[in-house]
Amino acid sequence: MRHFLQENDFQNEEIKQIFSTAFDLKKNRLLRPTKDLAGQSWGMLFYKQSTRTRVSFEVGIRELGGNPLILDQSSTQIGRGESIEDTAKVLSRFLDGLIIRTHGHELIEEFASHSSIPVVNALTDFLHPCQIYADCMTLLERWSGGINPCDGLKDRKLAFFGDTSCNMANSWILAGALFGMEISLCGPQSFQPDEPILKLLKDNNLSPTWTFTSDPDAGAVGADAVYTDVWVSMGCEEESQARLQAMQPYQVKDSTFNSTNENCLFMHCMPAHPEEEVSQSVLDSQRAILFDQAENRLHMQKAILSALSPHNS
């Protein structure tokens, strides 16, 4: 059974096809609706809050002719301790696919190992692959890079500011290795990438394309895009004060772009916190493409679900 838990769960040819489908679905959204999930029921199990992911998946499943079911921990028996194995096996008898947002990546891997339906990662503490695919689509649009990220993103430089140990940073490390992008991580020494993402690259024979600096003046030199994410990720609320203090030098502001390429873009997966990780002036600038990123979640996830649909494979 095919799952999409991490960016490299698809081969290069499949990635090219998925991106092609996403561009096509965007162009023809209202003209030529596709029904790749016709008659199918897909579960959406959310252990954490969400706006973009939840709405884009629900709308996307409906637009593909499918039926989305919203589930959460507290209103199912998971909240009373039913095992992941039993839950996965039972849901596999009812559903055609399962989208999960949760904390530990090992939980979604456990779900996948016991599911006979496709499982899609809608964010774990480790990776956010749907966001990255949509972000790469957004960059290709802006850079006129065609539809293949393996070609259109090659040798571009993306600087990631702030918590460089978070799931988005990990996903950029992985995407950089897959698509030949240079990833410049810039944040506090104590928030550098952890061992699991380094191991993932090694286990998959992927050469690292990232560097790390704690110097905010050096991180964005020559960048084509600057990316940041919230400083206090979901589940890290107890560390709020220490994080806000440590990350302060890494706020993305107008001067961050003094050393970038002229047309450097600003990206954020949202929700954004103005005047924390990014200044209001950068959010309001022509460089900011965060609403395109958000919209492309819909088109890209429709393409991913179509590729995973049990009846299309």
Q: Which residues are catalytic?
A: 101, 128, 131, 229, 269, 297
Choice between 51 and 281, CB closer to ligand CP: 51
Exactly one of 40, 87, 131, 164 binds ligand CP (CB under 6 A); that residue is 131
| One-character DSSP codes across 165-202 | TSHHHHHHHHHHHHHT-EEEEES-GGGPPPHHHHHHHH
Select the span of 48-56, 153-161, 183-191, 213-221 touching ligand CP (CB under 6 A).
48-56
- Residues 246-285, interacting with ligand CP (CB under 6 A): 269-270
| Cβ pair 221, 155 in contact under 8 A | no
Phi, psi of 42 (to 5 degrees): -115, 130
Residue 135 CB, shortest distance to ligand CP, in Å, is 10
Choice between 148 and 293, CB closer to ligand CP: 293
Residue 50 CB, shortest distance to ligand CP, in Å, is 3
- Under rule CB under 6 A, residue 50 binds ligand CP: yes
- Under rule CB under 6 A, residue 230 binds ligand CP: no
Choice between 108 and 123, CB closer to ligand CP: 123
Neighbours of 300 (CB within 10 A): 28
Select the span of 49-57, 169-177, 185-193, 202-210 touching ligand CP (CB under 6 A).
49-57
Exactly one of 71, 88, 91, 123 binds ligand CP (CB under 6 A); that residue is 123
Cis peptide bond prior to 249, omega within 30° of 0? no
Handedness of CA 121, 126, 129, 131 (dihedral sign): positive
- Under rule CB under 6 A, residue 134 binds ligand CP: no
Size of the site for ligand CP (CB under 6 A): 8
- Under rule CB under 6 A, residue 52 binds ligand CP: yes
Of 89, 53, 61, which is closest to residue 234 (Cα–Cα)?
Answer: 53
Task: Count CA atoms within 13 Å of residue 39 on its CB side.
Answer: 3
Select the span of 10-18, 47-55, 112-120, 178-186 touching ligand CP (CB under 6 A).
47-55
Choice between 206 and 283, CB closer to ligand CP: 283
Exactly one of 51, 189, 255, 263 binds ligand CP (CB under 6 A); that residue is 51
Give Cα 112 to chain centroid, integer Å.
18
Neighbours of 269 (CB within 10 A): 24
- Under rule CB under 6 A, residue 28 binds ligand CP: no
Residue keyed to tokens 């810039």:
186
Q: Which residues contact residue 294 at a Cβ distance below 8 angstroms, ignoring those fewer than 6 apart?
A: 52, 56, 270
Exactly one of 40, 53, 251, 296 binds ligand CP (CB under 6 A); that residue is 53
> In this structure, what is the dihedral angle of CA atoms 67, 34, 25, 299, given to the nearest 10 degrees?
10
**Distance between CA atoms of residues 61 and 217, nearest Å:** 43
Select the span of 29-37, 51-59, 110-118, 281-289 touching ligand CP (CB under 6 A).
51-59
Choice between 128 and 287, CB closer to ligand CP: 128
> In this structure, what is the dihedral angle of CA atoms 251, 252, 254, 256, given to the nearest 10 degrees?
100
Q: Which residues bind ligand CP (CB under 6 A)?
A: 50-53, 123, 131, 269-270
